Amino acid sequence: MEKNDILTVKIEDLTADGEGVGKLDGFPFFIKDTVPGDVARCAVMKLQKNYGFARLLEILEPSPDRTEAHCPIARACGGCQLQHLSYEAQLRFKTKRVADALQRIGGLSIRMAGEEPGEGRDEVLLYPALGMEEPWHYRNKAQVPVGKARDGSLVMGFYARHSHEIIPQESCMITFPEAQTVLQTVREWMRRFGVSVYNEVSGTGVLRHVLARKGMRTGEILVCLVSRKRRIRHENELAEMLRSTVPGFATLTVNVNEGRDNVILGREGYTAFGPGFIEDEIGGLRFRISPESFFQVNSEQMEVLYGKALEFAGLRGEETVWDLYSGIGTISLFLAKKASKVYGCEIVPQAIRNARENARLNGLGNVTFYEGAAEEVLPRWASEHPEERIDVIVVDPPRKGLDLRCLETICQIAPERVIYVSCDPATLARDLALFRERGYRAECAQPVDQFCQTVHVESVVLMARAE
């Protein structure tokens, strides 16, 4: 077999990146834009020793799970990888990804909810992924690069898959609808006032990214310009324009990023118009959100996710709880309503400021937030408070998972329960195995679909200390 050979395969599986996998005499090919159940004609693109890549030419027999993508640029854009898969199949895919990771990476045994328990086996009960009724326009945040198209015109949109080419994008099917008007208005403002586009190759120009966020319950909209320069000119004019075009527009901020790498946000910024934050309501609590703070992108599913975390925590009102990687205090405050005392820890200063304000805003006096890295704050706290008993620890780390030092300190503190909220099944599985070696058994796992139409998977796991 060689490059450009044509082959016909039946797609059997989907990778974590959303590529279909079909086998020819046991030799696997990865084929973008195919889904399990398709029979596809493809052209070989690249051959490695144990696998190859092929390009889809034609679907000969569509899978029963295949559906028409809603978005005209779904194939080119890197944002949604699963639009051509029915939503029900997307949820099955996500449940399976968690199952596969826990088994293959974590070495754990799985029992699907509804199945009989295995005899004397140590099994994690896995529930099917919880999805949305309307899995569109759910994102409360848009974060788009600003650049130049090949013809020199101004574009805002998405990076094409695996590239730094920006694909202009007129309407996004998963982001809140007003985001488009925000982008159009910013583009118009740039044209009118000659604001220059940042060039990542030469490191010149001004505007790098535009970020917009909406409080889905309150309707408040924040716009943040990511700028290479410390000061942006004509910002008042932009605020004025946004006020007249975007209903709910509440604040305009500037984030300064002078760096040459591809990190999106810089450390500092200022407010050009309005309060510099928006507020939203989740689970009956009110939250203040700054542009630099992390906030789950799917407000509706966030309630489901944190509701599960709270349920797994099994609080009766007497407990002392830690919430590590606490962001603006969302989970901490959910817990604070049901616990005696809550400690939170977070590394981003703006998020800590939001978290403290949020505790005050909701009249919750039983929460203390520590600013710093969890792997430093927790060991220090533990050595300074050897007598204090902790009943539950919740962790919600970034994709890379838990720092080993943090994980070991959690096990030394030895709470009865550990709740792990994760946006990456692979690092979750790795960490569950480490917890297991240290006496924590994963009891159950619940994937929650926070990122409909994409391959991303969020889940929450309950661990208990073995007796």
Would you name the residues annotated as active-site residues?
Answer: 423
Q: Does 396 bind ligand SAH (CB under 6 A)?
A: yes
Cβ proximity to ligand SAH: between 348 and 444 the closer is 348
Which backbone phi and psi does 88 adopt, to 5 degrees? -60, -40
Rounded to the nearest angstrom, the gap between the alpha carbon of residue 73 and the centroid of all alpha carbons in its chain is 22
Cβ proximity to ligand SAH: between 254 and 331 the closer is 331
Q: What letter does residue 298 receive in the DSSP assignment?
A: B
DSSP string covering 157-190: EEEBTTSSPEEE-S--SSB-THHHHHHHHHHHHH
Site size toward ligand SAH (CB under 6 A) is 19
Site string for ligand SAH, 365-394 (x = CB under 6 A): --------xxx-------------------
Nearest-approach distance from CB 347 to ligand SAH, in angstroms: 4
Nearest-approach distance from CB 107 to ligand SAH, in angstroms: 26
Cβ proximity to ligand SAH: between 42 and 348 the closer is 348
Q: Which of residues 255-294 bind ligand SAH (CB under 6 A)?
A: 294
Nearest-approach distance from CB 392 to ligand SAH, in angstroms: 14
Q: Which of 14, 315, 348, 426 binds ligand SAH (CB under 6 A)?
A: 348
Q: Does 345 bind ligand SAH (CB under 6 A)?
A: yes
Q: Does 398 bind ligand SAH (CB under 6 A)?
A: yes
**Taking the CB of residue 294, how many other CB atoms lie within 10 A of it?**
18
Q: CA nearest 76: which of 168, 170, 161?
A: 161
Rounded to the nearest angstrom, the gap between the alpha carbon of residue 39 and the centroid of all alpha carbons in its chain is 32
Question: Taking a C-beta distance cutoff of 8 angstroms, is the pair 32, 22 a contact?
Answer: no
Q: Does 325 bind ligand SAH (CB under 6 A)?
A: yes
Interacting stretch for ligand SAH, rule CB under 6 A, among 72-80, 212-220, 234-242, 339-347?
339-347
Q: Does 296 bind ligand SAH (CB under 6 A)?
A: yes
Cβ proximity to ligand SAH: between 173 and 394 the closer is 394
Q: Does 347 bind ligand SAH (CB under 6 A)?
A: yes
Rounded to the nearest angstrom, the gap between the alpha carbon of residue 5 and the centroid of all alpha carbons in its chain is 38
For residues 270 and 224, give the distance between their C-alpha atoms in angstroms, rounded to a whole number.
Answer: 10
Q: Secondary structure of 54-96 in the HEC alphabet? A: EEEEEEEECCCCECCCCCCCCCCECCCCCCCECHHHHHHHHHH
For residues 142 and 157, give the distance between their C-alpha atoms in angstroms, rounded to a whole number.
Answer: 10
Q: Footprint of ligand SAH on this chain (CB under 6 A)?
A: 294-296, 325-327, 330-331, 345-348, 351, 373-375, 396-398
